[in-house]
Structure 1
Amino acid sequence: MGRADLRAPAEPDPKAQRAEGAAPNYLPPPKKQNQ
């Protein structure tokens, strides 16, 4: 699995990109902004 990632850098997994883009967007820090 690790080799496949390095072998196909131009074709990143859609799941990995979705998790990275959804993690910060899905869990916004409202407490820090409120304070």
Structure 2
Amino acid sequence: MGLHPKPIDNEALTVEIISQIKDKNNIHRERFSKIFYL
């Protein structure tokens, strides 16, 4: 597909992603679970 993903190297972004994954009411939680294979 020509995608060249880069690592998440920003602590603030990492913290935000984790908090959204932990939030059971977050509308994007299922999508994050698929992306990060949780």
The question of a shared fold, defined as TM-score above 0.5 by the shorter chain, is answered with: no
With the length of structure 2 as denominator, give the TM-score of the two structures. Answer: 0.38
Higher share of residues assigned helix: 1
With the length of structure 1 as denominator, give the TM-score of the two structures. Answer: 0.40
Q: Which has the larger radius of gyration?
A: 1
